[in-house]
Amino acid sequence: MRDLSATTEGTTPTRSQAENEVRLPLIALIGPPNSGKTTLFNRLTGLRQKVANYPGVTVEKYVGQVQCNRERTVELVDLPGVHGFSARTLDERVTRDVLEGHAEDLPAPDAVVLIVDCTRLESQLMLVEPVLKLEIPTLLVLNMWDELEERGGNLNEMELADLLGVEVVKTNARVGLGVERIKEFLLGVEIRERGLPPPVRVLSNVPRGVPLPMIDAFTARRRRLDKVVDRASFVSPAPARLTAALDAVFLHRIWGPLVFLTVVIVVFQSIFTWAVPLMDGVELLITSSGEWLASKLADGWFRSLLIDGVWAGVGSVVVFLPQILILFLFLGILEDSGYMARAAVIADRIMYRVGLQGRAFLPLLSGYACAIPAILAARTVEDERDRLATIFITPFMTCSARLPIYALLIAAFIPEGRLLGPFLGYRAAVLLGLYGLGIVAAVVTAFLLKRTLLRAQPGSFVMDLPSYRLPSVRSIGLRLLDRSKIFLRRAGRIIFAVAIVLWVLTQFPRTDAGPPLIEDSALGRIGQVIEPAIEPLGFDWRIGVGLVTSLAAREVIVGTLGTIYGVEDATDDSITLQETLRRDLTLPAAIGLLVFFAFALQCMSTVAVMRRETGGWKWPILQFSYMLFLAYSGAFIAVRLF
């Protein structure tokens, strides 16, 4: 069995500790994908959500606290969206383990909140039967009630509650309608007895010991449900007109792919254009606060450490926060609006040719933000070999940690200018090219893998296309806040620590006149040891040090260069990182460095999550060596080509 337990870093006390003291009632929130589960979770837990993340590692279950009233708080666990309990996918296994009380880091839940999209009641209720078999208090949330009524559907929810024997609440989680009723339910949840061992309950799509083949069991369940739904006088809503109209364009033979391309280009262009004023603002804030601090401190080693080491190192990375947030903003809008599923459909044929499932498109696309949640998202890929192939190629997707170094080098070496009218400039084009490079590497790698190590027949593909919805500002805002926290915490921990170590290495061995010339310092000597290895790529020792420190995380290289040049040019404050790079790096070498970063797996968190998700070191080691080989040879060729 794989170790799926979440890596949390000192955020929660261990369970055994908590159990001896007062444990909060634990409620599991489950539902099919796109039923509004996470929106409801955010509604209920609000900003007090405990971000149970290892820096950069999004774990598969979020635990948040809900304040029901002044005295009472309960814990809510947000589980992955599932259609059933076959445990065919890792997501389903996680959900099952938590509900059955087998999860290592959580007790069995005291109650369940099952949320469904009531505009598609019949198929969504397929989850009800297995959940009711758990025999723990259950609340059925009929979400998107407003949409049901708008489109002329109806349902007698009291009758449904009677027939199923559960409490039922009508909600519209997006605007918060019905949330108070859910809180009332949560208020009544009692902690179940812990004295006795929990009864063995096994969730399954098909009841145990029933000799019926799976399909008959499903059909029988469906018949029972149809009766329930009929007696509760369910009138299914008219087809969503807006969705049909939008699909006519977004899935059109010609317009569909065009819109797809336009969306991609607009996202990348805006990373460079919209972000600039914001980045200038952040930069101004950092430099002026640094100057202010410097003026308050006496000249000495401490000021040098703080300003040249920490401020220059951490500051040079924090500048990229606006760009990363813009990328996540777009991904959030695309996902929440329902367009992402259409994009997956458009991409599926290509994925099929490569030998992957269309379902792999969603994890791969989120890989553009960060490989770690993407590798976890690959759990929805049903075939084990397809899942392995998907997570193997995910780090080729250009994650946001590459943006700092890409943005820095592009801004330093690529001139501004228009390539395609006002839509696409040179800089955005180079950035798009780097993203393209990642895609090509991913496609070729997947193609090779599926014909060698992970050979398999192409499977079937089913993709839910949710109705289009206006994304909620609140929900996206919360996610952006979450990402900012993670990014700043990384900057605050890894980059901070690296900056201090590097600064110390630049200060020794001391000379009579104080700190040595940077070339003679301990750091300079380490760099010169590395230099022969990277000299064929046209990199000097400073870049070499950056490559070593960026093994921890890609964006660290920017902080490292910030520190090195910060110390080197401490006397000259006006010189920027871009200018010093132009001085020390040729254009071919800069392109080589970009290519190196496009391919190399410089992220310890990714390696760790790979080990966890593949259950061993084999895949992460193979992946790391393969990507390093590609990076080195790619940069070697690029330097000679340009």
Partner 1 sequence: MGLTAPKSISGLPQEEAESELRLGDIPLSQTVELVRIDLPAEQAEPLLERGVLPGCRICPVRSSPAGDPIVSVDGSLLALRRETANCLCVRLLSDVS
Give the binding-site size for partner 1 (rule: CB under 8 A).
Answer: 51
Q: Which is nearer to partner 1, 148 or 319 (CB)?
A: 148
Binding mask 372-401 for partner 1 (x = CB under 8 A): ----------x-------------------
For residue 556, the surrounding DSSP H or E stretch is: helix 556-568
Taking CA atoms, 596 is separated from 422, 535, 542, 641, in Å, by 30, 14, 15, 14
Closest approach of Cβ 618 to partner 1, in Å?
25
Give the binding range for partner 1 (CB under 8 A) out of 296-304, 390-398, 456-464, 503-511.
456-464
Contact between 459 and partner 1 per CB under 8 A:
yes
The dihedral through the CA atoms of 448, 451, 452, 454 has a sign that is: positive
Three-state SS at 73: strand
Give the binding range for partner 1 (CB under 8 A) out of 70-78, 249-257, 505-513, 591-599.
249-257
SS (H, E, C) 387-442: HHHHHHHHHHCCCHHHHHHHHHHHHHHCCCCEEECCCEEHHHHHHHHHHHHHHHHH
Closest approach of Cβ 152 to partner 1, in Å?
12
> Could you tell me where the beta strands, DSSP code E, fall in 171-229?
none
d(CA 106, CA 26): 9
Contact between 341 and partner 1 per CB under 8 A:
yes
Contact between 14 and partner 1 per CB under 8 A:
no
Q: Looking at 47, 200, 298, 462, which residue binds partner 1 (CB under 8 A)?
A: 462
Q: Looking at 204, 337, 528, 576, which residue binds partner 1 (CB under 8 A)?
A: 204
Contact between 91 and partner 1 per CB under 8 A:
no
Give the binding range for partner 1 (CB under 8 A) out of 207-215, 473-481, 508-516, 630-638.
207-215
Q: Looking at 25, 55, 80, 84, which residue binds partner 1 (CB under 8 A)?
A: 84
Closest approach of Cβ 82 to partner 1, in Å?
9
d(CA 526, CA 524): 5
Q: Which is nearer to partner 1, 254 or 298 (CB)?
A: 254
> What token pair was written down for 541?
């020792």
First vs last C-alpha separation in the chain: 49
- Pairing status of strand 418-420 against strand 424-425: antiparallel
State the CB neighbour count (10 A cutoff) for residue 250. Answer: 21
Q: Looking at 194, 224, 231, 252, which residue binds partner 1 (CB under 8 A)?
A: 252
Q: Looking at 13, 198, 239, 277, which residue binds partner 1 (CB under 8 A)?
A: 239
Letter for the amino acid at 247? D
Q: Looking at 5, 67, 184, 218, which residue binds partner 1 (CB under 8 A)?
A: 218
| Spacing of C-alpha 399 from chain mean position | 10
Contact between 227 and partner 1 per CB under 8 A:
no
Q: Looking at 80, 107, 313, 358, which residue binds partner 1 (CB under 8 A)?
A: 358
State the CB neighbour count (10 A cutoff) for residue 3. Answer: 10
525-555 CB burial, b ≥16 within 10 A, e <16: ebbeebbeebeebbbebbbbbbbbbbbbbbb
d(CA 18, CA 587): 58
Contact between 12 and partner 1 per CB under 8 A:
no
Given phi > 0 = left and psi -120 to 50 = alpha, else beta, which region is 106?
beta
- Pairing status of strand 73-78 against strand 62-67: antiparallel
As a whole number of Å, the CA-based R_g of the chain is 27
> What token pair was written down for 259?
């819109």
Q: Which is nearer to partner 1, 346 or 522 (CB)?
A: 346
Q: Looking at 31, 237, 313, 363, which residue binds partner 1 (CB under 8 A)?
A: 237
Q: Which is nearer to partner 1, 60 or 348 (CB)?
A: 348
Taking CA atoms, 25 is separated from 28, 65, 135, 185, in Å, by 10, 10, 16, 12
Contact between 215 and partner 1 per CB under 8 A:
yes
Closest approach of Cβ 77 to partner 1, in Å?
22
Whether residue 375 contacts residue 464, with contact meaning beta carbons closer than 8 Å, is answered with: no
Q: Which is nearer to partner 1, 126 or 530 (CB)?
A: 126
Closest approach of Cβ 94 to partner 1, in Å?
17
d(CA 228, CA 234): 9
> What token pair was written down for 306?
């703080």
Cross-strand pairs, 449? none
Cis before residue 32, ω within 30 degrees of 0? Answer: no
Contact between 78 and partner 1 per CB under 8 A:
no
Closest approach of Cβ 383 to partner 1, in Å?
8
Q: Looking at 295, 460, 571, 574, which residue binds partner 1 (CB under 8 A)?
A: 460
Contact between 251 and partner 1 per CB under 8 A:
yes
Give the binding range for partner 1 (CB under 8 A) out of 35-43, 135-143, 244-252, 317-325.
244-252
* Binding residues for partner 1 restricted to 119-158, rule: CB under 8 A: 119-120, 122-123, 126
> What token pair was written down for 187?
């208020």
Contact between 95 and partner 1 per CB under 8 A:
no
d(CA 2, CA 612): 7
Q: How many CA atoms lie within 13 A of 384 on its CB side?
A: 6
Closest approach of Cβ 197 to partner 1, in Å?
25
Binding mask 256-275 for partner 1 (x = CB under 8 A): xx------------------
Contact between 247 and partner 1 per CB under 8 A:
yes
Q: Looking at 158, 248, 276, 497, which residue binds partner 1 (CB under 8 A)?
A: 248
Give the binding range for partner 1 (CB under 8 A) out of 15-23, 183-191, 341-349, 583-591.
341-349
Contact between 636 and partner 1 per CB under 8 A:
no
Give the binding range for partner 1 (CB under 8 A) out of 192-200, 202-210, 292-300, 541-549.
202-210
Q: Looking at 43, 83, 427, 469, which residue binds partner 1 (CB under 8 A)?
A: 83
Binding mask 564-603 for partner 1 (x = CB under 8 A): ----------------------------------------
Task: Give me the residues that bind partner 1 (CB under 8 A), please.
Answer: 83-84, 86, 88, 119-120, 122-123, 126, 204-206, 213-216, 218-219, 222, 236-237, 239, 243-244, 247-248, 251-254, 256-257, 341, 344-346, 348-349, 352, 358, 382, 458-467
